[in-house]
Amino acid sequence: MKRETVKMMASCAWALALALSTARNAQAQDANNPYPGMPPIEKYLMDRDAEIALARSAAPPSISSDATVMILGKNGYETAVEGKNGFICIVERGWMNSFNSPEFWSPKTRGAECFNPPAARTVVPYTYFRTKLVLAGKSKGEIKESIKTAMEKKELPTLEAGAMCYMMSKGAYLNDGGGHNMAHLMFYTPLMDAAVWGANPIDDSNHVSMKFPNSPIFLTPQFLGDPEPMDNFVVPTGVWSDGTPDQM
């Protein structure tokens, strides 16, 4: 009887150890791939007025108050406010990360951005295009191929010189690792060696390779020709759009 009891206890202990091991492995997998697929579109949507306010907070009011504001609907981005200075303010979602980003499908990302006229004409169309494909239920692979095809057919614009963007909103949420990161400007260029700018590359897990210690310039992994043929350099401003200091 005692022998059978011991066997039963050993069997239970083994089963418990296996269950704990499986749970730990599942947690590790979840940590590496926290957003394995796209949740329902409702998870990405915002209250209309809140999204307008967040989009405008990307740049100083002297710029954003006269900008066009785009908000996300179930069928893509739509005009909420018609502007008059050529800027476009918009809140981008996780699918505007690089395709390798673990947060590509994150429903929490709220990237408040205000694009200047050259970027509004030649960078923002890529946001609209990716978003249209995402809302059509396309996979990452299908989205990339569709972008490549559209570029080959010249259905997407060539990057215009001087394209840049303000990202100075206190309320933005860029990633799970750091929330917002910092108030900054983004400059779009043709593909090039980051060393030309003395820039420190950032990888898809938001780790920075400090090739140029004390340089304030960073190269994001957002595009890098995969497939959009442009680079995105970040420069901190040290101040939020409302004029208060960014305590980095």
Q: Is 185 helix (H, G, I), strand (E, B) or coil?
A: strand
Note the residue count of the chain.
248
Q: Give the whole-number percent of the chain exceeding pLDDT 70.
A: 85
pLDDT at 81 over 80: yes
The tokens describing 167, both together, are 């990202």
SS3 for 233?
Answer: strand
Percent of the chain with pLDDT over 90: 81
The C-alpha atoms of residue 169 and residue 26 are separated, in whole angstroms, by 35
Structure tokens at 73: 């609907």
Strands 184-189 and 164-167: antiparallel
Q: What six digits make up the tokens of 95?
A: 């699918």
Tokens of 97: 């990360």
pLDDT digits (tens, 9 = 90+) for 6-63: 344 334 333 333 333 433 443 444 667 899 999 999 999 999 999 999 999 999 999 9
The residues spanned by each domain of the chain are 41-236
Q: Are strands 218-219 and 200-201 parallel, antiparallel or unpaired?
A: parallel
Q: Mean of the pLDDT values across residues 186-191?
A: 98
In the predicted structure, residue 234 carries a pLDDT above the cut 60: yes
| Least confident span in 53-57, 154-158, 167-171, 174-178 | 174-178
Q: What is the pLDDT of residue 109?
A: 96
Average pLDDT, the chain: 89
